[in-house]
Amino acid sequence: MSDVLKRALLTGADFEVIPLEGVLEKISSIEPGSTVSVTASPTRGMSPTLDLAIELQVRGLRAVPHLSARTIENRRDLASIIKRLDDGGVGQVFVTGGDGQPHGDYYDALSLLEDMAALGHPFLEVGITGYPEGHPLISSDRLHQSLLEKEKFATYVVTQMCFSPETIVDWVASIRADGVTLPIKVGVPGAVDPARLLTIGARIGVGDSMRFL
């Protein structure tokens, strides 16, 4: 791969960060205007994600907070989150089902997306998750059906990380055949310790391609 192509890919890449101590220092070299996605933790709740997303927006980055359905209590809680992000200038979100037991009314991404639509949210971009290698707790048929159901509420799909280009290509062909037309962003792991990647991959359902590690 040429240096020009590498530079072009990196320039157009979105970044994903975890809202932990020291993260602002670590991302200080990211170019202003870059898109930075902020994950949500089932144990820490939504507040750290919202705080960091708004701070990133203030610093000239395009923040994309993850809205984890299972960490949000009810429609009132959701409306408060939407208002806070809108007041902070955040123009896009990424909606996930989340891990663990539901903390309230929402048990998956679709139920949250439906209430967001009912509330008339202001976000211009709404991302949802794709699973090229499946999910450890959800059948392949249900994943495909869910993607079709969520498509009307979203503007793009981001895949879970996968180490097999062939698997991603096959999955894209499969969902296109199902009628999903949303743009797709491929999730690529960053410079992370391989042992940590193995732990994360096992939790989110990365399949045979994890043997690459």
Q: What is the pLDDT of residues 153-210, one digit of tens each?
A: 999 999 988 888 899 999 999 999 999 999 999 988 776 676 666 665 555 445 555 5
Average pLDDT on 63-71 reads: 96
* pLDDT (0 to 100) of residue 205: 47
* pLDDT (0 to 100) of residue 188: 83
Distances (CA, A) of 149 to 57, 71, 153: 30, 21, 8
9 φ, ψ to 5°? -65, -40
Q: What average pLDDT does the chain have?
A: 88
pLDDT greater than 70 at residue 211: no
For 100-145, the pLDDT digits (tens) are: 788 899 999 999 999 999 999 999 999 999 999 888 778 888 888 9
- Cα–Cα–Cα angle for 163, 128, 60, rounded to 5 degrees: 95
* 18: nearest Cα among 3, 34, 44, 5: 44
Average pLDDT on 6-32 reads: 84
For 201, counting Cβ atoms within 10 Å of its Cβ (0-12 exposed, 13-18 middle, 19+ buried), the class is buried
Q: Count CA within 13 A, CB hemisphere, residue 94.
A: 25
- Helix ranges, the chain (H): 3-11, 23-26, 47-58, 75-87, 109-119, 140-151, 165-178, 194-204
